[in-house]
Chain A
Amino acid sequence: MKKNNCCSKNPVIKLPAGERLCKSHFTKYFEGKVFRTIRQFNLIGKKERIVAALSGGKDSLTLLHILNKLSKQNPRIKVEAITIDEGIKGYREKTLKTAKKFCKKNKIKLNLFSFKKEFGLKLDNMIDVLNEKPCTVCGILRRYLLNKKSKELGFTKLATGHNLDDECQSIMMNQFKNNMQASARLGPISGVNKNKKFVPRIKPLYLCTEKETAIYAYSNNLLDNFTECPNITESYRAEIRNMLNDFEQKFPGTKHSIINSFLQILPELKSGFKEQGLNYCNICQEPASKGKCNACRLLDKIKKVK
């Protein structure tokens, strides 16, 4: 990128190679990186109906903002948003408001679903009766609804705001827990095995760090307040995240190295776990590894203890 005076006067970021960029040049740099990621990993075809999973946080707002720009440049790519209201008191109300406001301002259709309406209980109430970590319950049921509803609504891709930091955390968590099968499902695009029950999931922010994404979101005024899920401190992921951030501070480039080495072994991982074909849940008919899907297993437990 050509160096400019504006970049030396008001830089918003110093890139790993030492280059400083102002808001305007950083915005171009960041969007360029996202578009390159989309091309490099063939995330989006010529004609698509994409739905972006929108939580109302910085990652999903950034994702939707950039996909919306892409859609305006290319009318054969349609973009809508999908939001799941899990029912987390003191948190979801605020992010939901941000999500609605953003979609209204940018004329993007928002498809809203809630745990309460779909499963009969809010996440907060499920946690009260289940002996499970909130993030486990939330993750399983949110992913279940995102896939089910995206498919029912006829979308061809489900885009999520997962960034480089999120992916690094998942890779390390799977490594620490000896769960390579879960790692085989990671990567910038997954669920593409032409299964009619799965909407392929794409991660256009795959090569963007959490900090870069936050700088993009704040400097483009996509959000102005900090909201953190109250359940995060209890998660294993949070421990891994802190460890990775400590390492990154001491040894800059650690996270990029994790992602780059992972991308090298990912094809081997995917082919190694290909044999384990997908089955369907004997209750809801959604994808499951065997017998009941994880969502139905959880919902069964809730019914028993309620």
Chain B
Amino acid sequence: MKLNVFYDRENTEKTIELADNSSVKDLLKKMKINPVTVIVGIKDQIVLEDEKLKDKGNIKIISVISGG
């Protein structure tokens, strides 16, 4: 399946291709993002790493990193 993903840290929307029945964890692995450093939201609802990805859009990856 093809997913539209917005990653706020890079301020970009990307199309990511994943096997059907993939989870949030699989998505982050594919994008080489450490799950400790982000929150993932679908339609503005926070989803956990083991959640299966059903929607193909409205996926937001929000960085939790701050400070200098």
**Interface status of B45 (Cβ within 8 A of chain A):** yes
Contacting residue for A231 out of B37, B49, B68, CB 8 A:
B68
Q: How many residues of A contact B (CB 8 A)?
A: 36
Q: Report if A11-B48 is in contact (Cβ < 8 Å); known contacts: A58-B64, A138-B68, A166-B67.
A: yes
Q: What CA separation (Å) do A63 and B35 show in the bound complex?
A: 24
Q: What CA separation (Å) do A238 and B63 show in the bound complex?
A: 14
Give chain A residues whose Cβ lies under 8 Å from the Cβ of B37: 211, 245
Q: Report if A135-B68 is in contact (Cβ < 8 Å); known contacts: A13-B48, A214-B62, A226-B62.
A: yes
Q: Is the CB of A237 within 8 A of B67?
A: yes
| Size bin of chain B's contact surface | 20 to 34
Q: Is the CB of A57 within 8 A of B68?
A: no
Give chain A residues whose Cβ lies under 8 Å from the Cβ of B67: 57, 59, 166, 229, 232, 237
List the count of A-B residue pairs having beta carbons below 8 Å apart: 68
20 contacts between A and B (CB under 8 A): A10-B45, A59-B66, A135-B68, A166-B67, A210-B64, A211-B64, A213-B64, A215-B46, A218-B39, A225-B8, A228-B9, A229-B67, A232-B67, A235-B68, A237-B68, A238-B68, A241-B65, A248-B36, A249-B34, A249-B35
Give chain B residues whose Cβ lies under 8 Å from the Cβ of A232: 67-68
Beyond A11-B48, A225-B8, A245-B34, list 10 extra A-B contacts (CB 8 Å).
Answer: A10-B45, A12-B46, A12-B48, A14-B50, A138-B68, A215-B64, A226-B8, A231-B68, A238-B68, A249-B36
Q: What CA separation (Å) do A235 and B65 show in the bound complex?
A: 14
**Interface status of A134 (Cβ within 8 A of chain B):** yes
Residues of A within 8 A of B (CB): 10-14, 20, 23, 57-59, 134-135, 138-139, 166, 210-211, 213-215, 218-219, 225-226, 228-229, 231-232, 235, 237-238, 241, 245-246, 248-249
Q: What CA separation (Å) do A255 and B36 show in the bound complex?
A: 11
Q: Is the CB of B36 within 8 A of A211?
A: yes
Residues of B within 8 A of A (CB): 8-9, 34-37, 39, 41, 45-46, 48-50, 62-68
Q: What CA separation (Å) do A238 and B64 show in the bound complex?
A: 13
For A23, A211, A241, the residue with the greatest tally of chain B CB atoms inside 10 Å of its CB is A211
Q: What CA separation (Å) do A215 and B40 show in the bound complex?
A: 10
Q: What CA separation (Å) do A13 and B62 show in the bound complex?
A: 14
Give chain B residues whose Cβ lies under 8 Å from the Cβ of A58: 64, 66
Give chain B residues whose Cβ lies under 8 Å from the Cβ of A135: 68
Q: Report if A218-B46 is in contact (Cβ < 8 Å); known contacts: A245-B34, A246-B34.
A: yes
Give chain B residues whose Cβ lies under 8 Å from the Cβ of A139: 68
> Smallest CB-CB separation from A166: which chain B residue?
B67
Task: Report the minimal beta-carbon distance from A59 to chain B, rounded to whole angstroms.
Answer: 6
Q: Is the CB of A134 within 8 A of B68?
A: yes
Q: Is the CB of B64 within 8 A of A214?
A: yes
Give chain B residues whose Cβ lies under 8 Å from the Cβ of A214: 39, 62, 64
Q: What CA separation (Å) do A41 and B39 show in the bound complex?
A: 30
Contacting residue for A228 out of B34, B39, B45, B66, CB 8 A:
B66
Contacting residue for A229 out of B9, B45, B62, B68, CB 8 A:
B68
Give chain A residues whose Cβ lies under 8 Å from the Cβ of B46: 12-13, 23, 215, 218-219
Give chain A residues whose Cβ lies under 8 Å from the Cβ of B41: 218
Q: Report if A226-B68 is in contact (Cβ < 8 Å); known contacts: A20-B48, A211-B39, A214-B62.
A: no
Q: What CA separation (Å) do A267 and B41 show in the bound complex?
A: 42
Q: What CA separation (Å) do A229 and B46 show in the bound complex?
A: 25
